[in-house]
């Protein structure tokens, strides 16, 4: 047994060294060529998109049916210029190492010449020389834009060819490693089988312990969520009831005091200013109270809270939210309402912070057997490598389990993310039926 273990370990060490060397070479190849090409291609596509936007803008500028002067497009050109400069800066940092200095300089110089010509055109337009400006656009700007688009397309083709060469080299490495794997597996199969028999028993015990720990972790997470909600509810009510009443009383006393002060006196002006500060503080306290735990959940229910909360998110983040409610409504009890609301909060936070989308769709469905909440966006989609977002996903799953439901993270046909929470009706309304 010991001799077999020694032989197995020696074979594993030798094979591991070989595999490590192959993987190191593969990693270096991917880092130096594949990853850089991919990042460079993404920036080139971004540059190409900006150039296409410029082409469309120039087409509209030359369209004589447009009622606007040429200077109306100057702000759009400036926005595109800012994005294009940023893309060029990032692209130069990830450009393939085999690109010549002339190729590196050509793109930047050509873009600079384009913007110089664009600035001249807009100066002509501002000097009421519309005809000369349009001629400058037709003869110079459009030609430069077309040349830039051709250059970017050529770089994309070169990147694609480089990726194909790298893919062939990677495939060759995989083939060599695959052959070595078969030889290694053949030589060590008996040792592995014997070792596996010993490991099966210990693995079963380990998996049982892991399952127990996972169950305990889930219970702890749910208790923490429940404790957190209780604390937030308590703090929210304290802010709303205690501090809100205090600030309201202060405002009333200031109003009474102001009425006794002489009209136009400095004291009356100071009291009015203090009253405004007190009212602002009251508004902030109420806003903070609603953020911690909306009182509307307890008083008006889930539907009214969503109808209040979604416009607030739109106003605060600038993200357009389309809200749709389907089916015959039924009451949603306090705990289920809180968990559904928190899942909606986290999903919309992911939309505004991570997806890059400017619009989201929220759908609340009342079905005979269940309650469904969907939050959809067409942004970048979930990033599994994001730690913050990963914690949010775990929290949403735990909240779904708290109400006996489930949550799915899907990818719509239009790309992006679709978060779907399903809560059984017996958990949502507290009695079923």
**Averaged pLDDT, 249-274:** 76
Residue after which a domain boundary falls, among 193, 219, 236: 193
Which CATH number covers residue 315? 3.30.565.10
- Would you say residue 384 has pLDDT above 50? no
Average the pLDDT over 257-274 and give the result: 76
Considering only residues 194 and 277, tell me which one the structure prediction assigns the higher pLDDT. 277
User: How does DSSP assign 341-383, residue by residue?
Assistant: HHHHHHHHHHIIIII--SEEEEEEEE-SSEEEEEEEE-SS---
Same domain (yes/no): 152, 301: no
Q: Could you count the other beta carbons within 10 Å of the beta carbon of residue 1?
A: 9
Q: Are residues 185 and 328 in the same domain?
A: no
pLDDT of 385 higher than 50? no
Using a pLDDT cut of 90, give the percent of the chain over it.
21
Confidence (pLDDT) at 387:
44
Decide if pLDDT at 386 tops 60.
no
> Are 167 and 28 within one domain?
yes
Main-chain dihedrals φ then ψ at residue 363, nearest 5 degrees: -125, 130
Q: How confident is the model at residue 388 (pLDDT cuts 50, 70, 90)?
A: very low
For residue 35, what pLDDT band results from cuts at 50, 70 and 90? confident
Verify that 312 and 165 share a domain, yes or no.
no
Q: Is residue 400 part of a domain?
A: yes
Read off the CATH number of the domain in which 100 is found. Answer: 1.20.120
Tell me what pLDDT residue 372 has.
Answer: 94
Say if 287 falls within a structural domain: no
Domain assignment present for residue 362? The answer is yes
311, pLDDT greater than 60: yes
429 neighbors 330 (Cβ within 8 angstroms) = yes
At residue 433, the pLDDT reads: 44
**Which element (helix H / strand E) includes 417?**
strand 417-424
Q: What is the pLDDT of residue 30?
A: 62
54 CB-contact burial (10 Å; exposed 0-12 / middle 13-18 / buried 19+): buried
H/E element, 231: helix 142-237
Q: Where residue 165 falls among pLDDT bands split at 50, 70, 90?
A: confident
Q: How confident is the model at residue 340 (pLDDT cuts 50, 70, 90)?
A: very high
pLDDT mean across residues, the chain = 81
For residues 191 and 15, give the distance between their C-alpha atoms in angstroms, rounded to a whole number.
15
Answering whether pTM is above 0.75, one says: no
Residue 382 tokens, joined: 């979930």
Q: How do strand 370-377 and strand 320-327 relate by DSSP bridges? A: unpaired
With respect to residue 222, please indicate whether it lies within any of the assigned structural domains.
no
What number is the average pLDDT over the span 143-147?
90
320-327/359-366 β-pairing: parallel
Q: What is the distance between the alpha carbons of residues 81 and 114, in angstroms, rounded to a whole number? A: 10
Of 193, 221, 251, which marks where a domain is finished? 193
Q: Does 433 reside within a domain?
A: no
- pLDDT, tens digit, 9 for 90 and up, residues 60-102: 888 877 778 888 888 999 999 999 999 988 888 888 776 777 7
Tell me, yes or no, whether 255 lies in a domain: no
Average the pLDDT over each of 4-13, 87-96, 103-112, 293-302 and give the range with the smallest value.
Answer: 4-13
Any long-range contacts for 137-144 (C-beta under 8 Å, 24+ apart)?
Answer: 137/58, 137/61, 137/62, 137/70, 138/62, 141/58, 141/114, 141/117, 142/55, 142/58, 144/110, 144/113, 144/114, 144/117
Q: Is the model more confident about 185 or about 317?
A: 317
Question: CB under 8 Å to 50, separation ≥6 — which residues?
Answer: 80, 83, 84, 87
Q: With H, G, I as helix, E, B as strand and everything else as coil, classify residue 161.
A: helix
Worst-scoring range by mean pLDDT, 75-89, 130-144, 162-176? 162-176
Looking at the structure, tell me whether residues 128 and 9 fall in a common domain.
yes
Domain C-terminal end among 134, 162, 193? 193
Q: Which pLDDT score, from 0 to 100, does residue 390 have? A: 64
Looking at residue 79, what is its pLDDT?
94
Confidence of residue 241 (pLDDT cuts 50, 70, 90): low
Residue 8 sits in which domain range?
A: 2-193
How many domains, in total, are found in the chain?
A: 2
Residue 228 lies in a domain: no
Q: Is residue 28 part of a domain?
A: yes
């Amino acid at each position: 047994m010991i001799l077999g273990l020694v032989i197995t370990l020696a074979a594993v060490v030798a094979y591991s060294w070989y595999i490590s060397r192959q993987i190191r070479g593969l990693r270096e190849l991917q880092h130096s060529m594949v990853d850089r090409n991919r990042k460079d291609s993404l920036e080139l596509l971004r540059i190409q998109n900006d150039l296409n936007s410029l082409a469309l803008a120039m087409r509209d500028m030359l369209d004589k049916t447009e009622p606007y002067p040429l200077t109306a497009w100057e702000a759009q050109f400036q926005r595109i210029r800012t994005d294009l400069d940023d893309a060029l800066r990032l692209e130069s940092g990830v450009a393939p190492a085999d690109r010549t200095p002339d190729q590196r300089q050509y793109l930047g110089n050509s873009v600079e010449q384009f913007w110089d010509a664009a600035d001249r055109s807009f100066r002509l337009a501002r000097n009421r020389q519309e005809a000369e400006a349009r001629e400058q656009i037709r003869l110079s700007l459009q030609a430069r834009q077309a040349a830039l688009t051709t250059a970017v397309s050529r770089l994309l083709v070169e990147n694609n060819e480089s990726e194909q060469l790298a893919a062939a080299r990677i495939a060759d490495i995989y083939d060599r490693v695959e052959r070595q794997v078969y030889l290694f597996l053949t030589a060590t199969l008996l040792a592995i089988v014997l070792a596996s028999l010993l490991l099966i028993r210990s693995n079963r015990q380990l998996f049982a312990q892991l399952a127990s720990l996972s169950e305990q972790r889930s219970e702890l997470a749910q208790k923490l969520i429940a404790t957190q909600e209780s604390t937030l509810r308590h703090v929210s009510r304290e802010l709303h009831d205690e501090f809100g009443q205090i600030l309201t009383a202060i405002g009333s006393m200031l109003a009474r005091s102001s009425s006794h002060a002489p009209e136009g006196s400095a004291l009356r002006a100071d009291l009015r200013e203090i009253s405004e500060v007190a009212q602002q503080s009251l508004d902030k306290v109420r806003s903070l109270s609603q953020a911690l735990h909306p009182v509307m959940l307890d008083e008006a229910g889930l539907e009214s809270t969503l109808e209040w909360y979604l416009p607030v998110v739109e106003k605060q983040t600038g993200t357009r939210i389309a809200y749709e409610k389907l089916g015959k409504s039924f009451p949603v009890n306090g705990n289920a309402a809180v968990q559904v609301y928190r899942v909606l909060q986290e999903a919309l936070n992911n939309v505004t912070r991570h997806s890059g989308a400017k619009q989201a769709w929220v759908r609340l469905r009342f079905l005979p057997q269940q309650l469904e909440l969907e939050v959809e966006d067409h942004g970048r989609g979930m990033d599994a490598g994001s730690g913050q977002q990963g914690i949010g996903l775990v929290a949403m799953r735990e909240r779904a389990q708290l109400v006996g439901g489930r949550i799915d993270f899907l990818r719509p046909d239009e790309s992006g993310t679709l978060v779907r929470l399903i809560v059984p009706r017996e958990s949502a309304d507290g009695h079923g039926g």
